[in-house]
Amino acid sequence: MTYAASMTESGDVDLLGALAYAELTAFLRMAEDASQLAPNLTDRAELGSLAVAEYGHFVLLRDRIAELGADPESAMAPFAEAFDAWHEQTKPGDWLQALVKAYVGLGIALDFYREAARHLEPSIAPLVEEVLADQGRSEFVVDRVRAALADDPTQAGRLALWARRLVGEGLSQAQQVAAARPQLARLLADADQADISRLFAQLTEEHGKRMAALGI
């Protein structure tokens, strides 16, 4: 195996490992938020169903990592600290914050899947399709947040601030991961710092569009 091939493979496993840990953690944290913050059993079940969909993605990613001959736990481990830190710094204080967090988190994850599909295809293509097909599941969040804002428009400022904090903390963790995992950064952004900045700028722009959809 050439050095270049081994590098690419390691970047692939890194990317799949990061996404796998992100999905596993999103599943567990969303379930926690649903349990602790949902105002009624229907909403609890709705956020629960989003969480379950995340677990499904985790399983696909874990199996793909194993197919590549890597150990899923080892592939995920380097990213645990960054994702755990993000979740610790962004514990929702109420149901609306939990909804916005779920929506923002899923949105950014989808952006990463799209990037991954550009760089890893065809190995990850069916997985990305399945994840994108699940996108509709988060639409209940848009309904709930818009309804809450219609009832009380003063919530918009608070939630907009919250969403910026979610992204800000996320980019800060991502910068650290990119520095620690150069193969991964190279895979996603063709190596130089300017490209990484461009990738982040694009994620931020997509995020802005999603916030407009929520009305915040």
Q: What are the angstrom distances between the C-alpha of 206 and each of 52, 75, 104? A: 25, 28, 10
Q: Which residue has the tokens 């916030």?
A: 211
Piece of 55-63, 128-136, 161-169, 190-198 that binds its own copies (CB under 8 A) = 55-63
What's the rounded Cα separation, in Å, for the pair 73 and 103? Answer: 27
Total of chain residues touching its own copies, rule CB under 8 A: 29
What are 45's two structure tokens? 């079940």
Give the type of residue at 159.
L
- Residues 13-32, one symbol each (x = binds its own copies by CB under 8 A, - = not), give --------x--xx-xxx-xx
CB atoms within 10 A of CB 185: 23
Is 144 one of the binding residues for its own copies (CB under 8 A)? no
Piece of 40-48, 115-123, 137-145, 182-190 that binds its own copies (CB under 8 A) = 40-48
Largest CA distance in the chain: 61
Give the type of residue at 105.
G
Given the complex with its own copies, which of 13 and 163 has the nearer CB atom? 13
Binding site for its own copies (CB under 8 A): 21, 24-25, 27-29, 31-32, 34-35, 40-42, 44-45, 48-49, 51-52, 55-56, 58-59, 62, 72-73, 76-77, 80
